[in-house]
Structure 1
Amino acid sequence: MFKNQEVVEEHRDTEALLAVLDAADQMPIANRLRARSYELLSLVQGSTFVDVGCGAGRAVAELNERGVHAVGVDPDARMLAVARERWSQAEFREARAEKLPFADGSVHGYRADKVLHALQEPERAVAEARRVLRPGGRIVLVGQDWDAIMIDSDDAALTRTIVHARADLLGMPRAGRQYRSLLLAGGFDDVTVEAHTGVFTDPTMLSLVTRLAEPACASGAVGRDQADEWLAEQRRRAEANCFLIAIPFFVASASA
């Protein structure tokens, strides 16, 4: 019985994560960042490109539509099952960013979107990218800076505490600002970095502030009453059309 219950809970967790990812993928800034990442990859028709941390596979499908052979890689078998169901013509493999299922120098391009912040040792993933890329191959890293999220609030100090506490629960919350250093240390050339800011005022983004406040509360960084009061303020702001959250994204590219 307990095993069946665990399966149900895992299914619910996957469904919840998919709902969040699908909603995020539809946002204008997400569309712009994906399109920009494809430009920076310098796509070559018929060449092999890998999308690491592919999730439900949207970027893999979009890359294939552009005439390349894209392979999606993700460590989550449940996500890959969804990706294969949605994009049956695409290729997906189960693997971690630190150990990719490709021979040395066998791929033309490498893309990782919102991946490195979840790793304890992102430099290992960068080294693995360098291994699988052919000479002159392109790498593009995309991701937000979790420690620099900006939220309009009457209590700036509490907001800072919540944002920083949530960031500290991640492997590398400031990975985005470190992309350039990681790529240079990994032996890449022609490293460039762009910053893009997503500004969100729609009440649907209240789910994000909840996902910031609840882990911060669970970690003990803020009290239950503080978290509830802060979330209530954000709901009031949304009802009054005064809600605002801004998220900085970094896009780094380089050549092997």
Structure 2
Amino acid sequence: MTRETEKTRRQMDDLIARLDAADRLPGADELRSRSYDLLGAGPGASAVDVGCGAGRAVAELTERGVKAVGVDPSERMIAVARGRWPGADFRIAGAYDLPLADASVDGYRADKVFHELAQPERALTEARRVLAPGGRMTLVGQDWDTIVIDSDDPTLTRTIVHARADLTAGPRTARRYRNLLLDAGFDDVAVEVHTGVFTGPAMSPLLTGLAEGACSTGAVTREQADSWIAEQRARAMADRLFLALPMFMAAATAPR
């Protein structure tokens, strides 16, 4: 294994660990369940989970009697998903080129995916191709500019949040869900916002990641990042941490 491959594997394993941690946060189960309900996902239906990661949603949809397919561009992710959920259908593919026939699924779901896409419009064109007429689409994700964090230095906090947001391909894609879906020709477009409020140390890795990302861009100094991280850790230990994370969930229907 080359050094670069080892680095990539470590990065992917770190991402899997962070996704697993996110799945354990308060409210995460309810958020996923709501996305399945909006799909109308029931026995006999078929659905694709795009950017499936380690496969939890595919497994939960299967438990509901849905014929679910999980796709992810990462070979490592698909290998982990197949190991965790033997017998489930996982395939290596990206959002722009799904390994599915035209009009072949009743539901399309993408959770924390579209902000990673440089061309979300292209992904929606592909979604329309694979969805059967009247099929349901659900998108879930955060707007990276709207993370609310209490801090002794709100100006520095604003700088950190926005600098980290700008490292993402589409940091504000979630606020565009409705217009993107309308422009792509979907019907019955509706958007919900589910805001998680976190006050404990479980969010410390996210907060650290925000500061480290901002530091990597030069938006803040190493000293500023370290000081801000230390403040947030102290807040968590003293039960004074406050982080509000709005999650946007859009649902729509493919044209009949």
Runs (4 or more) in structure 1 with deviation over 4 Å come to none
- Once the two structures are superposed, the pairs formed by residues 87-166 of structure 1 within 5 Å of their partners are 87-166=85-164
Number of the residue aligned with 1:195: 193
Q: Which deviates more, 15-24 or 5-14?
A: 5-14
Q: Which deviates more, 105-114 or 234-243?
A: 234-243
The percentage of aligned residue pairs carrying the same residue is: 63
Q: Deviations over 1:103-125 (max 9, x none)?
A: 11111000000000001111111
Separation (CA, whole Å) in 2 of partners of 1:7 and 1:97: 23
Gaps of 5+ in 2: none
Number of the residue aligned with 2:213: 215
Separation (CA, whole Å) in 2 of partners of 1:75 and 1:175: 20
Number of the residue aligned with 1:36: 34
Number of the residue aligned with 2:181: 183
- Once the two structures are superposed, the pairs formed by residues 43-58 of structure 1 within 5 Å of their partners are 43-58=41-56
TM-score by length of 2: 0.97
User: How far apart are residue 15 of structure 1 and its match?
Assistant: 2.1
Secondary structure of the corresponding residue to residue 147 of structure 1: coil
| RMSD (Å) for aligned C-alpha atoms | 1.0
Number of the residue aligned with 2:8: 10
Amino acid at match of 2:3: Q
Q: Deviations over 1:126-166 (max 9, x none)?
A: 11101110100000000011110011101001100000000
Gaps of 5+ in 1: none
Secondary structure of the corresponding residue to residue 51 of structure 1: strand
The question of whether the paired residues in 1 share the 8 Å contact of 2:42 and 2:64 is answered with: no
Q: Deviations over 1:174-232 (max 9, x none)?
A: 11111000100010000000001011111121111111011111101111111111111
Amino acid at match of 1:181: N
Amino acid at match of 1:113: D
TM-score by length of 1: 0.97
Q: Which deviates more, 170-179 or 53-62?
A: 170-179
Amino acid at match of 2:101: A
Selected match of 1:229 from 227, 230, 239: 227
- How many residues align? The count is 254
The question of whether the paired residues in 1 share the 8 Å contact of 2:115 and 2:168 is answered with: yes
Number of the residue aligned with 1:244: 242
User: How far apart are residue 45 of structure 1 and its match?
Assistant: 2.0
Q: Deviations over 1:64-115 (max 9, x none)?
A: 0000100000000000000000000100011110111111111100000000
User: How far apart are residue 52 of structure 1 and its match?
Assistant: 0.2
User: How far apart are residue 18 of structure 1 and its match?
Assistant: 1.5
